[in-house]
Structure formats: structure tokens, C-alpha cells
Amino acid sequence: MENATIKLTSYTKGGGCGCKIPPAQLSELLTGITKESSGKLLVGNSSADDAAVYDLDNDLCLISTTDFFTPIVDDPYDFGRIAAANAISDVYAMGGKPLLALSIIAWPTQLPISIASQVISGANEICTQAGISIVGGHSIENPEPIFGLSVNGTVSKTQIKKNNTAHENDLIFMTKAIGTGILSAALKRNLLESSDEKSMVESMCQLNKIGEALGKIAEVTAMTDITGFGLLGHLTEMTDKKRLSATIYNSKIPLLSGVKELAEQWIYPDNTMRNWKMYGEEVEGIEGISLLTLCDPQTNGGLLFSIHPSYRETLLNFFELQQVPLYEIGFFQTPQEFTLMIQ
């Protein structure tokens, strides 16, 4: 079997963060976990945050996370790069600095091991960009190819960014265009233009390194990254169980190249509708293809964060200097009839 003829996405039903267990089932799954009791555990399961955070004393905290999935692209090197960037993102989303990674790989016996080696090589490139090493891991045989990382990092206790600590009137920003779920669904159906595939891969391989810097900014009040539950799902989590509501301007939400045209053809991954089923009752103003784009499961999507309104101009200047994209998409407010309002 020649490597060039192998399509990794043909070996799995889903791909990337689009193969996550649906939110409702995930909540049921977690009921078997013992209630957190350690006073040193600062972030655990209770807020559905991006990573666990443990107090090591002297203002230093450990961030621990893991993320893995089935192929979202056919090229094994790109698959490794995407999976690594996605896993490391959880550390950045907590405002932290990654330290090291362990690899997690499950591989079908019918696929050459040389392809798995390319996956690892791609992951190693991204880890090098992040300034960390893959120092070990675990591998098993499995009918579907799976790859990801377990990542540890550190953060100052005073600089932890949680996903549920936004305030009324805070402004909402995101750092990447969305639509990787729609684009990957088109790729599996051989409907994706090569130029759009290139922009999709570039987006998914881009590290959310700016999160470490945002962790040091007190005016950044809450932060997460946009992954399998889509922009709508992760923004709902930021409202902290309806403690707040949010207004979002649909016209300001950036879409990757080709996403609008594909959504108009109703091309989308299965988890889009699962996300809508979970969060849709709390949303007002969904029209046309916005249901597909706002619920689209992202793989290594951008950071989603809130800031105090007084910090807006400073933030814009900071991102311009860093040459990192930034999109202002809405604001938080006191609880309304609906948790999210789309305008």
C-alpha cells in the first residue's frame, strides 16, 4: 500500500474535535467521577473548563490536560501538527505556559507504521514551536487511527484564566475565523477546493500562543478556546450557567474561506446538530446558515475571551503589535430571557 494513496479520513466516521461525545452524553458520563475534595485543586470538572489547575504553592500552579481525536485531514504530517496544536491550546486557554507533552496514539494494523511516524513528526514540529518536547507516551492497536497529546504547563495563581469569570458589560473577542468542521465535512466528500483546504490546515496548525500573554493581563476576565462544541456552545459555557447573557453580532463573526458557500449547500458535520440540540433553546436570533456556522465544531479553534471595556484600545494596539488576528464579536450583560442573542 503506497502512502500517497492512503486517505486517513476514510478510516473514521468523524474527525478532529467533531468526533467528541455530544455535550448531553458527556455530562452523563462525568456523573461517575468522585466530587473534587482537594483544596489545592483550583480548576476541575465543575465548570467544564479547558484544563485542570493544581496549586503547587509559592504562586506556581500546574496545568494538566489531554486531547486526542481521529484524523480530520488525509496528510499524516498535518494530522500530527493539528492534533498537537489542539492539545497544547488548552494550556494557553488557561493563560499558561506549556512545559512538556506525552503522546497518545492508536493505530490500525493495516496502515503502515511509517505513516504513524509521520504523524509523530508533525506533532514534534508543533511542540518545537511551542518550546516543549514530547518526552514519552503510550500506543495501542485500534481499528481507527487516533492521535493526541497529554500536556502539562504552569501558570501563576494570580493569572489563571477560567471560562466562567466574565462580568457584565465585558467585551467579547475571538482570535481565529471559524468553519473547520464544515470544511472537513466537505473534504471527506471530495467537495473542498484545494485553496480552502490549505487555509483550513493553516488555521488548525496555528498555535494559540497569545494566550500565555493574555494570562498576564488583569483586564482579561475570562478565556477559553473554541473547539468541539462550536462558538455557540463555548460561549454558552462562558455565561456561567445563565449568570450572564451575551449579545453577539453575527456579521462580525469571521468565517474561513469557502465556509459560507458550503454552508449554503447544507454541508456540515454530524456534531453541528448535536451542538444545536444541546444549546439551541437558549439562543435567540439564529437565521439562515448561522445555525451551521455558530454550531460548527472547531478543531484547534481560536481563543474566545472577555475584557473590561476600558481596556479595549490597549488590547487592539497589543494585538496589532503582535500581528495576531483579533475580532470583536459582542458583549456580556445581565441575564435576559435568552442566554445568547444573535444580532
The residues annotated as belonging to the active site are 17
Give a three-class secondary structure readout of 109-164.
CCCCHHHHHHHHHHHHHHHHHHCCCEEEEEEEECCCCEEEEEEEEEEEHHHCCCCC
**Which residues, listed in sequence order, are joined to residue 156 by a DSSP beta bridge?**
60
Are 174 and 304 in contact by the 8 Å Cβ rule? The answer is: yes
Give strand pairing partners of 255.
Answer: 178
Q: How far is CA 160 from the centre of its chain?
A: 18
Q: Which helix (H) or strand (E) holds 61?
A: strand 60-69
Return d(Cα 187, Cα 168) in angstroms, integer.
40
Angstrom distances, CA of residue 44 to CA of 21, 64, 157: 19, 10, 15
